[in-house]
Structure 1
Amino acid sequence: MRTVTFGMNISIDGYCDHTIFNPSEDLHDYFTAMMDDVDLLFFGRVMYQLMFPYWADVAKNQSGTEDQNRFAQRLTSIDKVVVSRSLNSAGENTRIVRENPAEELLKLKQQPGKKILIDSVSLLPELIAAGLIDEFRLVVHPVIVGRGRLLLNVGSLQENLNLKLVDTQIFKSGCVAHHYLKQ
């Protein structure tokens, strides 16, 4: 069975608004390397629209820095699933799922392949409740923002999810990557 990884950038106070973070070269390299073991990305609509077409354009035009271009190339080359009831179309190598995201993820998890990387705050409580996430990779940025989307809203989980810290990595920027496994 495939491993499902939830990956997210967050502020010290638990907010996940990607528009407030300014990833460094080593952070782009971290996420690019993480995707070496991934052959499917599973997005909610909001995160998908934040990431695309921006990164697809960077990959096509090689318009970013060297580390951004590598990240964009890797990100766009991986097959994607986006969960949305409102999207009419999606980009290259992307399939839209209209309903039952947990059921769809379970089917994908049971297929052969590399890891599945999830990047969706809105789907997180449902996927945790379904027991589908095996590991968490949270990159904490050294900023307190006090606004935006929280990683989890109060009351969104019915019970605690105990995790085991297996690795940390500190970046020059002060960001800290935490790698947790579900216990």
Structure 2
Amino acid sequence: MRKIVVHMMLSLDGYFEGPGHDLSWHRVDEELHAHFNAELATRSAFLEGRVSYELMEAFWPDADRDPDNPPVMREFAGIWRAVPKIVFSRTLQEVGPNASLRAEVDADEIRALKEQPGGDMTLGGVDLVETFRRLDLVDEYRLYVNPVVVGRGRRLFETADEPTDLDLVETRRFGNGVVLLRYDVIRS
């Protein structure tokens, strides 16, 4: 069975973005980007909210054509194009190549997707993560904690209203100080 994996950068104080959608504090160097590429190249789908999708789609489809981008970034451009995307939005009317659009999260459809063969699916977009969490569709969290205190912005679990039990299954420290905390969701 395929898993739904939340793959998110966080500050030490739990923010995924700073004020004004600031992501400049994300410490993505060559080592971490290579790790992301290895992980994400195995995914069978990217499940994205509108904001995350538009952010990614604005840069990655042709990032490999820019010779000034480092090899790990050029490699990810190919991964972004190759992996199918399901975009959840009530406002978008169309999406790019290799993407499909859904207005709502249908829990039955997602459970059916999880039953299909293939690699795990990566979930992005904080509002979408919260919807999937409430519907008990998230199987794993891969949280990349950056060695920075942001102080304000948007937190990943801002609207969580009940506990979700987790099992820490992996930790990894990268050379730039980012720490991966990988948790499986515990279901009774």
Counterpart of 2:143? 138
Counterpart of 1:32? 37
- Relative to structure 1, the CA distance from residue 82 to residue 46 in structure 2 (aligned partners, 3 Å threshold; closer, same or farther) is same
Counterpart of 1:23? 28
Q: Could you tell me how far apart the structure 1 residues matched to 2:142 and 2:106 are?
A: 21
CA contact 2:3–2:139 (8 Å) conserved in 1: yes
Superposition RMSD in Å: 1.7
**Range moving further from structure 2, 50-59 or 24-33:** 50-59
Q: String of CA shifts for 1:97-117, please: whole Å, max 9, x gaps.
A: 112353442232122221111
CA contact 1:13–1:144 (8 Å) conserved in 2: yes
| 1:158 CA displacement | 3.6
* TM-score, with length taken from structure 1: 0.91
Counterpart of 1:111? 116
| 1:157 CA displacement | 2.7
SS at match of 1:123: helix
Counterpart of 1:9? 9
**Range moving further from structure 2, 97-106 or 136-145:** 97-106
CA contact 2:27–2:176 (8 Å) conserved in 1: no
Counterpart of 2:165? 162
**Range moving further from structure 2, 122-131 or 57-66:** 57-66
Matched pairs, number: 181
Q: Could you tell me how far apart the structure 2 residues matched to 1:134 and 1:9 are?
A: 17
- Runs of 5+ consecutive residues of structure 1 not aligned to the other structure: none
1:80 counterpart (76, 85, 103): 85
2:182 counterpart (154, 179, 183): 179
- Runs of 5+ consecutive residues of structure 2 not aligned to the other structure: none
* TM-score, with length taken from structure 2: 0.89
| 1:7 CA displacement | 0.6
SS at match of 1:177: strand
Report the residue type matching 1:124 in the other structure. Answer: V
CA contact 2:47–2:86 (8 Å) conserved in 1: yes
2:132 counterpart (123, 127, 132): 127
Percent sequence identity is: 34
Q: Could you tell me how far apart the structure 1 residues matched to 2:54 and 2:153 are?
A: 17
